[in-house]
Amino acid sequence: SQTIHQWPATLVQPVGSPLSLECTVEGTSNPNLYWYRQAAGRGLQLLFYSIGIDQISSEVPQNLSASRPQDRQFILSSKKLLLSDSGFYLCAWSGLVLFDEQYFGPGTRLTVT
Amino acid sequence: QQQVKQSPQSLIVQKGGISIINCAYENTAFDYFPWYQQFPGKGPALLIAIRPDVSEKKEGRFTISFNKSAKQFSLHIMDSQPGDSATYFCAASRLGSARQLTFGSGTQLTVLP
């Protein structure tokens, strides 16, 4: 069965510090991968998606970036965090067969202080 | 054009009652409509989904009703239980390279015992 992992689970970082969040998927090959951000009490905003290694599309221009160095690894990064980057970051995957269905990871709670 | 509008923002239902959450969309290119359930501090979980070629889909106590002409769809939770208390998100996507989901703003459901 497929499993999606995210780490760290929680993170507190000062303004201006760098960021690296990691997401990995097990049990599937060539998944589509997604990064979403969820502000407190709000819906989910798609940040980036990837259909393959080194193929990244950005939905919202901001100081975040994403990379996919391996087939089942998706990384969200920032060189300098802003207060507005605080939120709940969710990684999701979808498969080649049931490509409509997206499955989410457990999320990373980021607080920028 | 890409928005999905969800209502109500919050809903309180007695145990055993019917919970109804509504969503409306504008983009007629959308052709996949999932609902997600999210518990506090967790990632959203895919609950049920529908395509425009059917007007209703039922899985256990959960039913999606779809009205293509009105561009609306709704989630009905029959015999609501306290364990159903969570935030529910509707979403929509269209055929594309990665099936990006556009989410509604969420409905916080509380089922009273």
Residue B1: what pLDDT?
A: 52
How many interface pairs between A and B have CB atoms less than 8 angstroms apart?
Answer: 60
State how far the Cα of B43 lies from the Cα of A28, in Å rounded to an integer: 19
Q: Are B47 and B103 in contact (CB under 8 A)?
A: no
Q: Which residue has the tokens 């100081």?
A: A63
Q: Are A5 and A105 in contact (CB under 8 A)?
A: yes
* B89 in contact with A, Cβ within 8 Å: yes
Q: Is there a contact between A99 and B99 if contact means CB atoms under 8 Å apart?
A: yes
Residue A95: what pLDDT?
A: 84
- For residue range A9-55, list pLDDT tens digits in order: 999 999 999 999 999 999 988 999 999 999 877 789 999 999 899 89
State how far the Cα of B8 lies from the Cα of A109, in Å rounded to an integer: 26
Q: Specify the DSSP class assigned to residue B32.
A: B
pLDDT for A89 beyond 90: yes
What is the mean pLDDT of each successive set of 10 residues along chain B, which is 113 residues long?
87 98 94 95 95 93 96 97 97 80 94 96
Enclosing H/E stretch for B50: strand B45-50
State how far the Cα of A52 lies from the Cα of A41, in Å rounded to an integer: 32
Closest Cα in chain A to B40: A41
Closest Cα in chain A to B51: A100
pLDDT for A96 beyond 80: no
Q: Are B81 and B111 in contact (CB under 8 A)?
A: yes
Q: By three-state DSSP, how is residue A83 classified? A: helix
- For residue range B33-43, list pLDDT tens digits in order: 999 999 999 99
Q: Is there a contact between B93 and A100 if contact means CB atoms under 8 Å apart?
A: yes
Q: List Cα–Cα distances, B55 to A49, B52, B65, in angstroms.
A: 30, 7, 6
Tell me the nearest-neighbour CA distance from B54 into chain A, angstroms.
16
3-state helix, strand, coil in chain A (%, to 5): 5, 60, 40
Contacts of A18 (CB under 8 A, 6+ apart): A77, A78, A79, A80, A81
